[in-house]
Chains A and B, each alone.
Chain A
Amino acid sequence: MMSTLRNVALWFEQRLHLVKLWEQTAGHPVPKSTGSWFYTFGSMTLTCFVIQIATGIFLAMSYVPSAAEAYHSLELLNYTQPLGWVMRGMHYWGSTMMVIMMMCHMTQVFLWGAYKYPRELTWISGCILLVVTLGLAFSGQVMRFDADAYWGVGIGAAVGGRIPIIGDAVVHLLLGGPIIGTDALSRFFALHVFILPGSLLAFVSIHLRLVLSKGINEQPKPGVLVKRETYDQHYHGIIKREGVPFAGIIGKDVVANGILLLVIVALALFIGPKGPGIPANPPLVIPEAKPDYPFLWLFAAAALLPSGSEIFLFFIFPTIAGLLLFALPFISNEGEKHWRRRPVAIATVVLSYLGIGMLTYEAMVGPWSPHMDAWSGLPIKPEYLKGRTPVELQGAVVLQKMQCRNCHAIAGEGGHRGPDLAQVATRMTNPQLVRQVIQGGGNMPAYGKNLSPEETRALVAYLSSLHPPNVPPAREAVGPLKPIGESQPTPTPGKEVTVSQ
């Protein structure tokens, strides 16, 4: 019996050269120190990718890539197809995890100096994998063909249309036609299921091949510098001294990946898939088109940067950032690897995460987007109405009716595009308020044409009453001390406000 098995094994071995394959891959020697929790993010990213392929193939069996059918097929997956919702959930959370794990992996290899000589190409192929993965995340969001996806494509086209000279061609190429329709969805489908996963497979192969041929980066020690002339010898020395077969140190990877899989399945089961949201029916003017997590920071930056900086945000900045990222191994090819002695590297990581993190947070709370229903859905609180004169109360009605609160909150309630009005009278005098309302400016529309003089007067009277009882309203720094004309209507309850003509 044993000898038969042995013969069968030998028969395969003679044909497949498995021993050699094992020696070159799982058996290849790596520094013992690399058996570390910090070195598990790469394999976790790969595991996510495997999950994406597995679930993606099965989703493709039910998904219909047509603008007329896509939404319906997703609903069928969610509610009719047995376990369809689990499949969608795993695909969504797998993609979220893939981006997160990739960021962790990239941060780790950056802080550990793994991109330095001789692993330049490993880093560059990793950068390509980052770009492809983000491409998959964006195109995947389009597959969820709801209103967000539809307007997301619209935003993509609008960004493309901003490219000088070739903008128009880019838009038509992206949409596969003159306008957003089924051709655009089909383009993104081809990108999402053929072109990008194919590229990812190819570059993962190159990436892993490079990891094998150039070795896993040893745990750096502070003060041990990388030199082109001596590094290879140094690394071989490490392998000789403390080399172990790769298969011998993967315990932590296996544990981490197991936990990762459990997390993805748990998220899929307990939170479930995302969407689809409102159907992609353009006349249903949707309240807000927000992208998925990986792109929220871009969405926020587009709102927060000054008008006219879009060319910088969408083209110049990514080009410079991309060039720096790809050129990193050549900018810093030798020298210190340990993060403790690389303050610039630490600052880069901290600032990048703070920047992306804060922008993402801003995008989630959306303080700049108008609160489209505030005027009809958020009444002014009684304490901001109590004791006001009839004219002031009329002004409060104007404030509400004219949708002012879509952009202006009162004590935090309402839009945050403009300043909160709860204490506006302490900042602006009566004439300044009149000017601001009529002429606009400072990113506020002018209401001169849409407000009658009476409405303006009432509105400004109300705004002038918005100050705490113990803080006097703002007053002109120069001129007569006694209020003249329209300035300073008194907030005292019951007292009449005189408004001059």
Chain B
Amino acid sequence: MASSDPNEDSAHEMPKFDYRATRRDFMLKLGLGINAVAGALVGIPIIGFFVSSVVQKQGRTWVSLGSIDQFPEQATRMAVFINPYRNQADGDTAHIPCWVKRAAGETFKVFAINCTHLGCPVRWFEQSKLFLCPCHGGAFYEDGSHAAGPPPRGLYVYEHKVEKGELMIKAGVLPTLADPS
């Protein structure tokens, strides 16, 4: 430090620095190389962690809605199942509702609760035989087809089967327009 006054900018008064001096240049390049490799080794797991829910996507799996006897014929009832990918910290959000319509015998139709417009929960009205969405007024008929309002399609339908008197649906994934069922 040439100057004794701390407020005077002395940083500019250093001798000219030659960035091409060979050994320093080599060290810098080596350092950059090491850091590039290390950066990749640090970064790849971070990115991998972040996108893991996309890359290792969990698909739908069979879930039981219980005995078919609880669903009267010619009626639509709410059924609640536990999300197959339940995490202990999920709490109540692991309980996923859906609408089950039993036409007759073993003929069922299971609809997702999510409106096809923007995902709000649709409610069943037994008297008018309509599903109504509270958010923007979407309406669906008893068979899930679009009746009125902004939804672009009918209700999402779960794949289902009846096994040993139990109604099973393929669930675990939030139905959206990109992945309806």
Contacts and interface: CB of A to CB of B under 8 A. Distances in A.
Interface of A: 13-15, 17, 19-20, 66-69, 71, 150-151, 154-155, 157-163, 167-173, 175-183, 279-283, 285-289, 299, 302-303, 305-308, 310, 368-370, 372, 375, 401-404, 406-407, 415, 417, 440, 443-447, 449-450
A67 B83 CA distance: 14
Nearest to B137: A417
Contact of A302 (B6, B53, B150): B150
Interface in B126-146: 127-130, 132-137, 139, 141-142
Contacts of A407: 137
B136 A368 contact: yes
Contacts of A375: 125, 127
A447 to B, nearest CB: 7
A67 B89 contact: yes
A172 B150 CA distance: 25
B42 interface: no
Contacts of A449: 129, 141-142
B176 A181 contact: no
Given A162-B177, A167-B178, A20 B120 contact: no
B162 interface: no
Contact of B54 (A151, A162, A169, A372): A169
Contacts of B29: none
Nearest to B141: A445
Contacts of B85: 177-179, 181
B91 A66 contact: yes
Interface string B87-103: 11111111111000000
Contacts of A15: 6
Contacts of A159: 118
A178 B172 contact: yes
A308 B127 CA distance: 29
Contact of B137 (A177, A283, A369, A450): A369
Q: Which 4 A-B pairs have the closest CB atoms?
A: A161-B176, A68-B91, A167-B178, A158-B119
B53 A283 contact: no
A20 B5 CA distance: 13
A407 B89 CA distance: 39
B149 interface: yes
18 contacts: A66-B91, A68-B92, A157-B119, A160-B176, A162-B178, A167-B176, A173-B51, A181-B87, A280-B93, A303-B135, A303-B136, A307-B151, A369-B137, A372-B134, A402-B127, A403-B132, A406-B132, A450-B130
A475 B7 CA distance: 94
Which of A155, A161, A446 is packed against the most chain B CB atoms within 10 Å?
A: A161
Contacts of A443: 148-149
B163 interface: no
Given A303-B137, A407-B137, A450-B129, A179 B91 contact: no
Chief secondary structure at chain B's binding surface? loop
Given A182-B89, A450-B129, 7 more contacts: A66-B91, A157-B174, A178-B53, A181-B83, A282-B97, A369-B135, A445-B141
A401 B149 contact: no
Is the interface on chain B under 10, 10 to 19, 20 to 34, or 35 or more residues? 35 or more
A303 B53 CA distance: 31
Nearest to B60: A178
Contact of A283 (B50, B80, B122): B80
A199 B130 CA distance: 46
Contacts of A415: 137
A181 B129 contact: no
A440 B148 contact: yes
Given A289-B120, A443-B149, A179 B83 contact: yes
Nearest to B149: A443
B57 interface: yes
Nearest to B96: A282
A279 B95 CA distance: 12
Interface in B36-61: 50-51, 53-54, 57-59
Interface string B55-96: 001110000000000000000001010010111111111111
A141 to B, nearest CB: 15
Contact of B97 (A173, A285, A402, A417): A285
Contact of A20 (B7, B58, B118, B121): B7
A20 B7 CA distance: 7
Given A155-B119, A158-B119, A286 B93 contact: no
